[in-house]
Amino acid sequence: MGIYFKKGMQFETVNGRTVVYTDGACINNGRQNPSAGFGVYWGPGHRLNAAEPVNGKATNNVGEIQGAIYAIETAIQYRIERLLIRTDSAFLLNAATKWIYRWCNNGWRTYNGNIVRNVEDFQNLLELLYCVDVEFVSYRIICNFINKFCLQEKVKGHNGIGGNIESDRLANEGSYKYNNGRACYIGFSGFAVAC
């Protein structure tokens, strides 16, 4: 683990890769009045940290995908060539390192012939993955896009790792920005609990 500076900003590195944490969040995911966002965390007080609402359909998975897209686009903008995306999303890890190839080869259809959900986001993600050498880390698995391998690592989502906690906080902040900050949490009773 190391640190380097670029354009007056400090970045953490692991094995020569710049580390970034991403997360997605959705208030009322799969229910009425969803509000989704993503968080991208580069480090304490980092000017590239982001809390943004998703574009399009408000789901947690969209937040996960768009968080990774945002991180990679930022890496490209700042000429970061090797990126380590830490996420607590097994969905994102599997989608970005396994399923995305199959979907692309199948005309963006699932194994049963349905069009892939969030296909435009996945097409954008795949295009970006060819621009930067990206490794995804989730839970205890490491997968490398370029070399197409997976290894075990002792990292688990939301286990007190500061970057995971901060990316989650930012993702929740981003979800409140969806619909211009009019996010409402609908409780199980069906009534608005918090707006």
What CATH code is carried by the domain that includes residue 170? 3.30.420.10
Whether the per-residue pLDDT at 183 is higher than 70: the answer is no
Percent of the chain with pLDDT over 70: 81
pLDDT, tens only, 161-180: 789 899 999 999 999 999 77
Whether the per-residue pLDDT at 127 is higher than 50: the answer is yes
User: How many of the other CB atoms lie within 10 Å of CB of 102?
Assistant: 12
132-136, 152-156, 160-164: lowest mean pLDDT where? 152-156
When divided into structural domains, the chain yields a total of 1
Radius of gyration from C-alpha coordinates of the chain: 17
Give the Cα separation of 156 and 99 in Å (integer): 22
- DSSP-derived letter for residue 182 is -
User: How many of the other CB atoms lie within 10 Å of CB of 52?
Assistant: 20
Give the Cα separation of 109 and 140 in Å (integer): 28
Give the pLDDT of residue 1: 78
pLDDT, tens only, 81-112: 999 999 989 899 999 999 999 999 999 999 89
What are the angstrom distances between the C-alpha of 6 and each of 12, 16, 58, 195?
11, 14, 34, 40
pLDDT, tens only, 37-90: 999 999 999 999 999 999 999 999 999 999 999 999 999 999 999 999 999 898
Give the pLDDT mean for 101-124. Answer: 95
Q: Say whether 85 sits in a helix, a strand or coil.
A: strand
Q: Which of the four pLDDT bands, split at 50, 70 and 90, describes residue 186?
A: very low
Torsion of CA 21, 22, 28, 31, to 10 degrees: -140
Give the pLDDT mean for 107-125. Answer: 96
Residue 52, strand partner residues: 38
Residue, of 176 and 187, whose pLDDT is higher: 176
Give the pLDDT of residue 148: 53
Give the pLDDT of residue 179: 78
Average per-residue pLDDT for the chain: 85
Tell me which residue range forms the domain holding 53: 2-194
Give the pLDDT of residue 77: 95
Alpha helices, DSSP H only, in the chain? 60-77, 90-94, 100-105, 119-129, 162-177
Torsion of CA 165, 167, 173, 175, to 10 degrees: -120
